[in-house]
Amino acid sequence: MNKALKWGLIICVGLVVLVIATLLIAPAFIDIQDYKPEVEKLISDKTGRPFTVGDDLSLSLFPWAGVSFSDLHLGNTSGFAEKDFVNVKSFEVRVKLLPLLSKDIQVKRFIINEPYITLVKNKDGRVNWAQPDAAKDKSATEKKKKAPEPSTAEAGLPIKDLTVGEFLLKNGSIIWIDHSTKTRKEITDVNLNLQDVSLERPIKLSFAAQLDKQPVSVAGTIGPVGKDFKQANIPLDLDINAFKELILRLKGNLMNPGSKPGFDLAVEIKPFSPRQLVAALGQPFPVATSDPKALDRVALKANLKGDAARVTVSDGILNLDESTLNFSLKASDFSKPNLVFDLNLDQINLDRYLPPKSEQQAAPAEKSAPKKATDYEPLRKLILDGRIKIGQLVASRAKIKDLLVQVKAKNGIFNLDPLQLAMYQGNVSGNGNLNVQTNTPKSGIKMNVANVQVGPLLRDVLEKDILEGVTQAQLQLTMSGDNADTIKQTLNGDGQLQFNDGAIVGIDLAGMVRNAKAAFGLAQKSSERPRTDFAELSAPFSIKNGLFNTPQTSLKSPLIRVIAAGDANLVTEALDFRVEPKVVGTIKGQGDSADRSGLMVPVLVSGTFAKPQFRPDLAGVAKKQLQETLMGSEKPEELLDKKKLEEKGKGLLKGILNQ
């Protein structure tokens, strides 16, 4: 038995020695150059592309299995002006042979020198990286002949250990050429260096390149990966620098890459200027803003955690110019998706980020182009639950404080409740909704306004001084459509507007209704701007299909009471109102200490929103006054006296014009 074991060991050792001797001696007797044409032909047949390699192709087998070559060229298929798809100046790899038997990969050297990849898109849309049809057909045939057997092994690394002594990619280039748009992009001076490559130690990574002659670099560590790739928790610590402007820091872990990939990362983008970043790329800034200094500073910090099923963003801080946004976000079920968020912004002036006024005014001219139907299907799938808080907000020049909006959405129905804010010494509260279950959106809003100073608001928003007072309002409106014209035509609702202790600026309503000659341009104009002070202005209203109607808007002032009624068409912007005055004994408080009495002339308001027109209702007054004069005559026989009638009529007309 001992003799048999002895001879067995001798045979095994002999076989090992024979194999090693063969591996050492074989390269000396085998000239790899003799097989180079066959190798080139084999690769050309497999890829469907011309392939050549330099004459210094070499092969070693023991103790290091290695291949080295230079001047490799993998060409483009026919139809492309560029000759090469890939070319490599030199390549060398050396792997220790015997440890491979135990799945231990020990790489002494892996060096790629000056790889050059050219990606091309022709005018006809063809791309040079697509596999040629002949190669596709051959590959498909081979797959049919030998279908791969289903793997039952669990996901994991197919190796037990890995060690790389030297890993270098030097002076690489990637060129993108698009002949259809006549564009060319270059990534040059690509250098990649990996140190301490191992499963048990952190891998030091250093990457640098030039993107269109602008520097990009990545430095840091990855790993250790560990031997259990399926359940690995891989540390990551990288600094990314781009274009001398952008600095990105990633630190955290990549989890379970072989089973359920996930990540837990702290992300930080150092403050940078988007404008300078785009300028460094030689491109015009893509956004035109009213303030040329807007979008000049951005910074970000956040913690990201997630996997294929959900993502969470916590402790987020976004700095945009002078604004700071604290935010958190949870997203799951990405096919819908389901979003929960909380946004807290300290301040922002939205007007700074809008297009310049010249572009905003030119925008309506584009209405002639046919509008593409809006696809609301993504909104119907969306599930939303979020809160938005803004400390100070400027929008359309209106100054708003303490804005709070709670947003919820499901099955195409969006609810804003509550919706509240403070502005101009008052408060606004209410709620709103949007329904996109059909292709024609429907929306509604309910609003309560308390103690808002309307004068400063109108001066800021409209840049006009037309009304003053403390505003109270209640309104509820519904509308349909997704453009201004349709919304106006479908606008319905009602409400109540009330202004206290204010004034109508630009109109002397007291003078209009009391003095036709002065108010309507028949007398010398005063140098002082006219105004109508009031104690209360109340305007109940209703809107039906875009037609605004007030049945009895009332104004109470120290000398007159005014009742106005009529319509304003929001679609055609036409006005049709009649202002009916009622006299109060004195006009003290209206710049006159004298007691006045006389004929009060109603005012007719017509024209449009842009050009309202005012005129006295002289015909109505004359008719009414004549009726009252004639009916009040003490001597009925005077009604039959033609001369007396003419005298009364002249006196009446004179009285109207002299008021």
- pLDDT tens per residue across span 157-192: 567 777 888 899 999 999 999 998 888 999 999 999
**Co-location of 610 and 642 in the same domain:** no
Find the mean pLDDT for residues 8-33.
48
Tell me the one-letter amino acid at 294: A
State how far the Cα of 598 lies from the Cα of 615, in Å rounded to an integer.
19
Residue 36 contacts residue 21 (beta carbons within 8 Å): no
Distance CA 397, CA 480 (A): 27
Q: What's the whole-number mean pLDDT along residues 391-412?
A: 96
Per the structure block, which two tokens stand in for 414? 């969006």
Q: Given this model, what pLDDT does residue 32 score?
A: 64
635 and 499 together in one domain: no
User: Residue 471 region, left (φ>0) first, then alpha (ψ -120 to 50), else beta?
Assistant: beta
Q: Which pLDDT does position 574 carry in this prediction?
A: 94
Q: 223 and 84 in one domain?
A: yes
Q: How many CB atoms lie within 10 A of CB 444?
A: 16
Which residue carries 């006549």 as its tokens? 182
Domain boundary among 202, 227, 252: 227
Look up residue 232 and give its DSSP letter: -
Task: Read off the tokens for 488.
Answer: 């106006």
Whether residue 356 is predicted with pLDDT greater than 50 in this model: the reply is yes
β 612-616/167-178 pair status: unpaired
pLDDT at 547: 96
DSSP character string of 475-508: EEEEEE-SSHHHHHHT-EEEEEEEEEEEEEET--
pLDDT for 540 equals 96
- Give the integer Cα–Cα distance in Å for 563 and 580: 5
Would you say residue 518 has pLDDT above 70?
A: no
For residue 333, tell me if it sits in a domain: no
Say how far apart CA 179 and CA 168 lie, in whole Å: 33
Mean pLDDT for the stretch of residues 192-205: 90
pLDDT band at 589 (very low <50, low <70, confident <90, very high): very low
**Residue 433, in any domain of the structure:** no
What is the reported pLDDT for 360? 58
Higher pLDDT, 558 or 597: 558
Of 231 and 72, more confident: 72
Q: Which residue, chain included where needed, has tokens 């479908």?
A: 490
Claim to verify: residue 539 and residue 651 sit in the same structural domain: no
Q: Is residue 122 packed enough to be buried (19+ CB in 10 Å), middle (13-18) or exposed (0-12)?
A: middle
Q: 497 and 611: one domain?
A: yes
Per-residue pLDDT band at 98 (split at 50, 70, 90): confident
Residue 246 lies in a domain: no
The answer to whether residue 140 is domain-embedded is no
The region of weakest confidence among 59-63, 125-129, 180-184, 232-236 is: 59-63
pLDDT digits (tens, 9 = 90+) for 239-255: 999 988 899 999 999 99
- Answer whether residue 647 shows pLDDT above 60: no
pLDDT at 635: 52
Crossing angle for the helix pair 133-145 and 36-47, to the nearest 10 degrees: 90
Question: pLDDT digits over 310-319, tens only?
Answer: 999 999 999 9
- Asked if 110 and 167 count as a contact pair (C-beta separation under 8 A), the reply is yes
Query: Residue 639 has what pLDDT?
Result: 46
pLDDT, position 81 = 87
27: region left, alpha or beta (phi > 0 left; psi from -120 to 50 alpha): alpha
568 and 535 inside one domain: yes
In the beta sheet, which residues pair with residue 348?
A: 393
Domain holding 657, by residue range, is 622-659
Are 628 and 596 contained in the same domain?
no
Least confident of 90-94, 123-127, 611-615, 629-633: 629-633
| Contact present, 340 and 329 (Cβ < 8 Å) | yes
pLDDT grade, residue 599 (50/70/90)?
A: low
Examine the domain organization and report whether 655 and 563 are in the same domain.
Answer: no
State which of 39-53, 75-89, 104-118, 406-420 shows the largest mean pLDDT: 406-420
* Average pLDDT score, the chain: 82
Average pLDDT over residues 533-558: 92
pLDDT at residue 6, as a whole number:
47
Asked whether residue 1 is assigned to any structural domain, the reply reads no
Tell me if 87 is assigned to some domain: yes
Q: Is there a single domain that holds both residue 608 and residue 630?
A: no
**Segment 374-398, tens digit of pLDDT:** 889 999 999 999 999 999 999 999 9
Residue 522 maps to a domain: yes
Q: How many CB atoms within 10 Å of residue 641?
A: 12
What stretch of H or E contains 569? strand 560-569
Residues 626 and 612 in one domain: no
Residues 99 and 215 reside in one and the same domain = yes
Q: Is residue 151 part of a domain?
A: no
| Distance of alpha carbon 192 from alpha carbon 208, whole angstroms | 7
pLDDT at residue 47, rounded to an integer: 86
Supply the DSSP symbol for 13. H
Instruction: Tell me whether strands 338-349 and 383-395 are parallel, antiparallel or unpaired.
Output: parallel
Structural domain tally of the chain?
3
pLDDT tier at 137, thresholds 50, 70, 90 = low
Domain end position, chosen among 176, 205, 227: 227
Q: What's the CA gap between 285 and 353, in Å, rounded?
A: 13
Same domain, 627 and 609: no
Which residues does residue 242 pair with via DSSP β-bridges, in sequence order?
216, 246
Digit-coded pLDDT (tens) for 285-298:
999 999 999 999 99
Going by the DSSP 8-state scheme, the letter that residue 275 receives in this structure is H
Tokens of 612: 């309202």
Q: Which residues of 176-208 are buried (b: 16+ CB within 10 A; e: fewer)?
A: ebebeeeeeeebebbebebbebebeebbebebe
Could you say which of 195, 227, 259 is where a domain stops? 227
pLDDT of 474 over the 90 cut? yes
Mean pLDDT of all residues in 586-593? 47
Residues sharing a CB contact under 8 Å with residue 62, sequence separation 6 or more, in sequence order: 20, 23, 24, 97
pLDDT at 650 over 60: no
E strands, 321-373, are 323-332, 338-349
338: pLDDT strictly greater than 70: yes
- Tell me if residue 435 falls in helix, strand or coil: strand
pLDDT at position 594 over 50? no
- What is the rounded CA–CA span in Å between residue 403 and residue 389? 6
